[in-house]
Amino acid sequence: MRSLRIICPNGHLGFAPLRVESFRLGVAAHPDCIAADSGSDDVGPVPLGTDTSTSPLAWQTHDLQAMLLASRELGVPMIIGSAGDTGANSRVDLYVRIIKELAEKHRLSRFRLGYFYSEVDREQIRRRMRRGETVPGLEGHATLDEAELDATERIVAMAGVHPFIDLLARSADVIIGGRSSDSCVFAAPAIHHGFPEAQAYYLGKVLECASFCAEPYGGKETVLGEITNDAVEVTAIHPAQRCTVASVSGHAMYERSNPYFEHVAGGTLDMSECRYEQRSERTTRVTGARFRRSSEFRVKLEGSGRIGERYVGLVGIRDPYTIAHVDEVIGWARDKVRERFGDTGYDLYYTVYGRDGIMGELEPMRDRPAHELCILVQGVAPTSEMAEEVCMIGTRQMFYARLPDVKGSAGSVAFALDEVLRASPAYRWTINHTLRCDDPLELFPTHMTSAGI
């Protein structure tokens, strides 16, 4: 095979629907594979913790249907990574079920459906820790200890190319992956067909977010990547978009702390010597990517731990004197919660929009609040009843705050809603660590089934 062409119709499939027009044009180009990543840790720890998707089922189904019908019509593989936002086992099962239902609904001829799981049992990690193995943290997370492990509700491991390649080698027509590195969804078919790892991982890196590597800015449009032995060419499919040297090189830095290196299970893609060349109006060619295999096979783990149930309240403030003393208003309400529940056993958060709500202590203008403020109150506690009361006291008592020189004595804040609202439970990222593996497949059991009639 001299070259392999892959289209990617969406980055984080399900989060917003793919755009149909450019996808159809991409399919008309007869690619050798249709692939997309469907997950992200950007959505925070709640979906992984509660074992849910943040993407609506209708949008997930919409995109899976478009990709499945095209892939079966062309007779080329369809590959999905990080199913259902988190890549947890229940999300893999959900996507497998959607694919089976779509195959039946559209009376597709029988095809091979491969899938793999990424969840890691907490007790397996505990056993390894007790045998003396350390589980080092990434990016400021301390080395994992048993207390933090105990606080964790669910763990997924980040797969590399290996389970995808295993399933391609077993002739899977459609692959639904658990949690996996975005780029590996695309690198796997390229490596499976014998292309060099350097080019393959670069192909994945540039395709992973679909049209984010094109300009003008516009997400969810299809792009096409073509790999050969010494280069990757990437083409914008939407008629109004182009893949330029600037847009493609710029994408290398997107969402990454360093624009030159991309770490995946098994090694590191080095883009520091990449050369970019405009081949035609909508196509840029990239050469010079390198891939360094790591001496030790380490897999990234993501874990989410439950903190408690959560309620939210909203208040507004217009009086300039009250705005200048908003911290005292908050302090008053905090005191009232303390009188009821004591100092600990709950959490209470105030986000002051109009002052430093979005940036907190990073806000250079926090000493110059706006003429009106909106304050988001979050109460977190072990039970729903307690969280509701913490939030209710923390919200309503702002109304009664006693400021010495306030003119308005009928209420210190404005309520748009005189209630507090139940929100998702509060979770936090407990695990952002790496685990050593002897076998690249040991955390990622693969399975094969079939779908269609």
256 binds another protein (CB under 8 A): yes
246 binds another protein (CB under 8 A): yes
Based on DSSP, count helices (H) and strands (E) in the chain, helices before strands.
13, 19
432 binds another protein (CB under 8 A): yes
426 binds another protein (CB under 8 A): yes
Q: Three-state SS for 180?
A: strand
Residue from the set 146, 255, 385, 419 that interacts with another protein by CB under 8 A? 255
Angle between helices 57-74 and 20-28 in degrees, nearest 10: 20
User: Alpha-carbon dihedral of residues 206, 208, 210, 214, nearest 10 degrees?
Assistant: -30
- The nearer residue to another protein, 41 or 208, going by C-beta atoms, is 41
> Least Å distance between CB 122 and another protein?
19
Chain positions 298 to 337 lying near another protein, rule: CB under 8 A, are: 302, 307, 310
Distance, in Å, from the CA atom of 163 to the CA atom of 117, rounded to the nearest integer, reads: 9
From the list 82-90, 94-102, 111-119, 426-434, the region that binds another protein by CB under 8 A is 426-434
For residue 7, the one-letter residue type is: I
Residue from the set 59, 399, 415, 429 that interacts with another protein by CB under 8 A? 429
- The nearer residue to another protein, 167 or 352, going by C-beta atoms, is 352
From the list 70-78, 198-206, 255-263, 336-344, the region that binds another protein by CB under 8 A is 255-263
- At 224, phi and psi to the nearest 5? -120, 130
- The nearer residue to another protein, 173 or 302, going by C-beta atoms, is 302
From the list 133-141, 175-183, 187-195, 235-243, the region that binds another protein by CB under 8 A is 133-141
In angstroms, the first-to-last Cα distance of the chain is 31
3 binds another protein (CB under 8 A): no
Q: Three-state SS for 201?
A: helix
- At 114, phi and psi to the nearest 5? -100, 150
Count CB neighbours of 250 within 10 A.
14
- The helix (H) or strand (E) run that includes residue 428 is strand 426-436
What DSSP assignment string belongs to 85-139? ET--HHHHHHHHHHHHHHHHHTTPPPEEEEEE--B--HHHHHHHHHTT---PBST
From the list 191-199, 235-243, 251-259, 290-298, the region that binds another protein by CB under 8 A is 251-259
DSSP 388: H
CB 76 within 8 A of CB 181: no
Partners of 278 in beta bridges: 284
Residue from the set 30, 97, 254, 345 that interacts with another protein by CB under 8 A? 254
> Least Å distance between CB 86 and another protein?
12
For strands 446-451 and 111-116, give the pairing: antiparallel
Distance, in Å, from the CA atom of 190 to the CA atom of 248, rounded to the nearest integer, reads: 19
378 binds another protein (CB under 8 A): yes
Question: 32-64 as b/e, with b when 16 or more CB fall inside 10 Å?
Answer: bbbbbbbbbbebebbbbbbbbbbbeeebbbbbb
Spell out, one character per residue from 334 to 373, where the chain touches another protein: x when CB under 8 A holds, - when not.
-------------x-x-x-----xxxxxxxxx--------
212 binds another protein (CB under 8 A): no
421 binds another protein (CB under 8 A): no
Residue from the set 24, 290, 428, 447 that interacts with another protein by CB under 8 A? 428
> Least Å distance between CB 291 and another protein?
18
- The nearer residue to another protein, 126 or 428, going by C-beta atoms, is 428
From the list 233-241, 290-298, 394-402, 427-435, the region that binds another protein by CB under 8 A is 427-435
Count CB neighbours of 182 within 10 A.
26
427 binds another protein (CB under 8 A): yes
410 binds another protein (CB under 8 A): no
138 binds another protein (CB under 8 A): yes
> Could you list the residues that contact another protein (CB under 8 A)?
41-46, 138-141, 246, 249-250, 252-260, 274, 276, 302, 307, 310, 347, 349, 351, 357-365, 376, 378, 380, 426-429, 432
